């Protein structure tokens, strides 16, 4: 792949596509969970590539809180801020690693800023 020379940027984005309430059995107990279906994307500018990962992450909480989250989602597709921050961080932790490995395999620059060392 020919990578253009000069300035390049990568814009990362996460979209929550859907939310489902499910029952999850652990032995004799049944727990309610939320399944957040998401799409992670890393868009390279200039437009040379786009990495897209679709996935699902599970959220475990008390039933009353799950019902409250579902109610907000059904009403206006919103997720409470106290849930959104750890949710997005969880998705980023998983997807940044996968996108980094994929970019390396196909010869793209890393989609996230990697740490750099300066010796003084």
pLDDT in tens, 76-103: 999 999 999 999 999 999 999 999 999 9
CA distances from 63 to 31, 32, 34, 76, 107 (A): 8, 6, 10, 20, 46
Indicate whether 53 belongs to any domain: yes
What gap in Å lies between CA 24 and CA 33, rounded to an integer? 7
pLDDT in tens, 16-64: 999 999 988 878 888 889 999 999 999 999 999 999 999 999 999 898 9
The domain containing residue 57 runs over which residues? 9-106
Residues across the chain: 120
What gap in Å lies between CA 108 and CA 19, rounded to an integer? 32
Indicate whether 2 belongs to any domain: no
Indicate whether 57 belongs to any domain: yes
| Domain count of the fold of the chain | 1
Indicate whether 120 belongs to any domain: no
């Amino acid at each position: 792949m020919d990578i253009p020379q000069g300035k390049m940027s990568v814009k990362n984005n996460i979209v929550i596509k859907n939310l489902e309430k499910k029952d999850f059995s652990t032995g004799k107990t049944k727990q309610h969970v939320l399944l957040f279906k998401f799409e992670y994307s890393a868009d390279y500018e200039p437009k040379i590539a786009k990495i897209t990962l679709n996935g699902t992450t599970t959220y475990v909480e008390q039933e009353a809180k799950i019902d409250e989250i579902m109610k907000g989602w059904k009403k206006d597709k919103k997720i409470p801020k106290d849930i959104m921050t750890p949710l997005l961080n969880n998705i980023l932790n998983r997807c940044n690693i996968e996108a980094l490995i994929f970019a390396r395999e196909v010869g793209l620059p890393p989609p996230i800023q990697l740490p750099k060392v300066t010796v003084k």
